[in-house]
Structure 1
Amino acid sequence: MTQQPHDGTPGGSRPDPAGTRPQRGGPARMLLCFAGVLALAVVAAVLLVVTGAAELQTALVVVAWVMVLLSFGLSRWLTHQRKQRYLTLFPTLDDVRRGLDEDALRTVRDRDGVPQAVRELRRQVPGMPLTDAAKLVREL
């Protein structure tokens, strides 16, 4: 089998049917980070109003814009982290393929269709990008 590099699209943090499971991240981590940004925004708005630096409406607008920018940056950073974890664990599609039950996936694909086989593959390798999963299922 030849080594096929995958396209490097963002993946998650819970891959590997072979047993090496990195620390979980995903939606729970993103929600926790967002809650932290929201708490900072509330504190900033209160401080702006209490210190008299801005009226309530102005403080809310400023804090809202800052929160939007921080949330965007945080989301990009977390996505990059998930992608790097996936690429570290699975530099090529062949690395993913080694731990899979290809016969079972082929059976699901033939019986239920490609979309269901892709779902099953991503259940087995939760951090796998959709494009990689679809490509691997087509190659079975």
Structure 2
Amino acid sequence: MAVKGSDILHEGIQNWKLRLVLSALLYIMGLAGLISMVLGEFVELTVMDKTIVSIAVFMVGTPAYLIASNLGKVDQYTIAGFLNESLQEVQGDAEVLVKKEEELDEEEKTRREQLEEFFTENPLDNYLPDKPVKQAYFLFLLSLAGSFSIWYIG
């Protein structure tokens, strides 16, 4: 049984949003720890104070990052546009996955079936961008190393 076009894109929306949330958490956790450690070098802060600063940065930074990343604007058209631009197998026809079945002509129905079959064999999440998550993970590790360096040297 082939997966319907709207289901494919719905799964893509969920996956894209989860990737944005993961990157936000990684970015902000790393930066929150680093900011509190650096601040502790300039102002005399106890461990409890550094923890509070870190939690405050995390609580403010995470929603700010998610708002700036336009998390709420990710929809089927966002996914279809991304696929049209980045995936040669789609050949610019991803919008047939967005349209309702009754709105499609015969050629579009055939193309939709081909795309549904393609995405059944090749899950959509393999083609979504993972660069922000990789960058966030790298920044998290760098921030963590910086925080521990400040703690060890200080």
Q: TM-score range by the shorter chain?
A: 0.3 to 0.5
Which fold has the larger relative contact order, with Cα–Cα distance below 8 Å and residues 6 or more apart in sequence?
2
Q: What TM-score comes out, normalization by structure 2 length?
A: 0.39
TM-score, normalised with respect to structure 1:
0.42
